[in-house]
Structure 1
Amino acid sequence: MKIQAGCELRFTAEADVPIILMLRPRSGDAQWIVSDQYLIDPVVPVTEFTDSYGNLCQRLVVPAGPFTVSTSTQAETADEIDVAVGAPYTPVQDLPTDVLGFLLASRYCPSDQPAIAKQAAAIVDGLLPGYNQAEAIRKWIHEQITYQYGTSNAQTSALETLENRIGVCRDFTHLGIALCRSLNIPARMVVGYLHELDPMDLHAWFEAFVNGRWYTFDATQAVPKGNRISVAYGRDAADVAFVTQFGPMTLDNMEVWVKPADTDTPT
């Protein structure tokens, strides 16, 4: 299915503020970027670079005053995500070198904490190592953690989400990653767009590496859903922030849309 997704972010900067944006997706196995548009107002010099995870990043300095970023992307996306019940665990010694880092505890995913390991062991008890374990973790989070806005913040870790049993997509994702890593299953965070997400927003989910490849798991959804546009990948939210600012700047408004590409986009 060809979908169109985008966002408009409106800021106010108190003075010149250097920022890094991560809002431009690239083509991959489950998506082909047909076209994209990236507008900033006022226009300032922008340098684009690729980070260590392959994400496209834009570096610029926001001038004092109001500033707007608007993006729009058309992409051919997979209607369904791949499901591989029974796919086996990939032993650590057989993992590609660039996957090894996704086994390690990170800022928001303290997979080395005893409480995380204990919960993961309870969730997957008796299951075949690999895909079935990652799916059991996704299902457990969906059923046991309450989705509610305003219940967490930018500092909330997977351990806190496990203790409080409440959060949003970011928190669901961090918990899924931490639980998988505690079982020596590599897991990474993905941020982007999901068609028919309700309520509509920029979204986050996780991928687990089993049977020699990455598979998608979204603990906010009851069933597997395709038609996603992945924008960025990383160990956790610290690696995939849509906006990283190095000075005082306020986000005044954010609008996000995802729809079939033949419909009109908000202006």
Structure 2
Amino acid sequence: MKLFAGCELVYDVPAPAPVVFMLRPRSGAGQWVISEEYQIEPGVPVIEYTDSYGNLCQRLMTPEGRFRIQITLVVETADEIDVAPGAPFVPVQDLPDDTLQFLLPSRYCQSDRLGPLAADITANATPGYDQVEAIRNWIQSHVIYQYGTSDSSTSAIETAEKRIGVCRDFAHLGISLCRSLNIPARMVVGYLHNLKPMDLHAWFEAFVDGRWYTFDATQKEPRGNRIVVAYGRDAADVALATQFGEMQLQEMKVWVEEKL
């Protein structure tokens, strides 16, 4: 499906402040960026660089006053995500070097403390893809999705205890449980068609049988038509905006529509 997507951010900036945005997706597996357009008001110089996870980052100084940034995209997306029941576990000694960082505990994903829960959830699952699917299904079935029940400091441990949260919390918990079983897992942020209510979305990927697979614990069934914007260890690596000064977000709009 061809999607028309984008987001608009409006800030009030008391004094000039440096900020790094992460708004531009790359073409890759399951998506082809046909076109994109930036609007920045007032116009300022932008430096773009690629971070250590391959994400495109936009670095700039926001001027004092009202600051607006908008990106619009047209992206060809896969209608379905790949699924692979029975795909085998990859022993740590056979993992590619670049996946090893996704085995380690990180700021919001304390995988070193969730081993017993992961073992209980996956007790009857074949090592590999089936373990990850058991984790995804358990989160979807046992954790309540509800806005306003967590904040930017909520970690996987807290979500496991309270069993309530939003998409980023579901992803953090899934990542942590996978890592505790020595399955590399990473955070993904982007757009999902027909997400209700519409917002930027978060899910996770796990590495089994020599490749990454998509898992979304907020959804009952596998769903395609996703636009990946960024990958990272957890939410700290994939923030839409990382500001180094006072900037107050006044307005945020997100849209994903079928492009006919």
Does the pair score TM above 0.5?
yes
Partner deviation per Cα, 1:12-41 (whole Å, 9 max, x = no partner): 111001000000000001100000111111
- 1:124 pairs with 2:122: yes
CA-CA distance at 1:261 after TM superposition: 1.3
- 1:190 pairs with 2:188: yes
Letter in 1 for 2:164: I
Letter in 2 for 1:232: A
Q: Residue 232 of structure 1 aligns with which residue?
A: 230
- 1:80 pairs with 2:101: no
CA-CA distance at 1:207 after TM superposition: 0.1
Q: Residue 60 of structure 1 aligns with which residue?
A: 60
Report matched runs for 1:73-222 at 5 Å: 73-113=73-113, 116-222=114-220
SS for the counterpart of 1:38 is: strand
Letter in 2 for 1:228: R
Tell me how far apart the structure 1 counterparts of residues 222 and 125 of structure 2 sit (CA, whole Å): 20
Letter in 2 for 1:102: F
SS for the counterpart of 1:204 is: strand
SS for the counterpart of 1:79 is: coil
Unmatched 5+ residue regions in structure 1? Answer: 263-267
Tell me how far apart the structure 2 counterparts of residues 129 and 51 of structure 1 sit (CA, whole Å): 32
Aligned residues: 260
SS for the counterpart of 2:177 is: helix
Partner deviation per Cα, 1:61-94 (whole Å, 9 max, x = no partner): 0001110110111111000000000000011111
- 1:25 pairs with 2:19: no
CA-CA distance at 1:223 after TM superposition: 0.3
Tell me how far apart the structure 1 counterparts of residues 233 and 73 of structure 2 sit (CA, whole Å): 25
CA-CA distance at 1:126 after TM superposition: 2.1
Q: CA RMSD in A?
A: 0.5
Letter in 2 for 1:222: K
Tell me how far apart the structure 1 counterparts of residues 206 and 239 of structure 2 sit (CA, whole Å): 20
| Identity score, percent | 66
Q: Residue 265 of structure 1 aligns with which residue?
A: none
Tell me how far apart the structure 2 counterparts of residues 240 and 217 of structure 1 sit (CA, whole Å): 17
Partner deviation per Cα, 1:204-238 (whole Å, 9 max, x = no partner): 00000000000000000010000000000000000
SS for the counterpart of 2:105 is: coil
Letter in 2 for 1:63: P
Tell me how far apart the structure 2 counterparts of residues 126 and 194 of structure 1 sit (CA, whole Å): 31
SS for the counterpart of 1:205 is: strand
SS for the counterpart of 1:162 is: helix
Tell me how far apart the structure 2 counterparts of residues 95 and 147 of structure 1 sit (CA, whole Å): 33
Q: Residue 9 of structure 2 aligns with which residue?
A: 9
Tell me how far apart the structure 2 counterparts of residues 93 and 160 of structure 1 sit (CA, whole Å): 31
Letter in 1 for 2:211: R
Letter in 2 for 1:6: G
Letter in 2 for 1:152: S
Tell me how far apart the structure 2 counterparts of residues 222 and 239 of structure 1 sit (CA, whole Å): 27
Q: Residue 254 of structure 2 aligns with which residue?
A: 256
Q: Structure 2 length as normaliser, TM-score?
A: 0.99
Tell me how far apart the structure 1 counterparts of residues 256 and 82 of structure 2 sit (CA, whole Å): 21
Tell me how far apart the structure 1 counterparts of residues 249 and 134 of structure 2 sit (CA, whole Å): 37
Letter in 2 for 1:132: D
Deviating beyond 3 angstroms after TM superposition, the runs of 4 or more aligned structure 1 residues are none
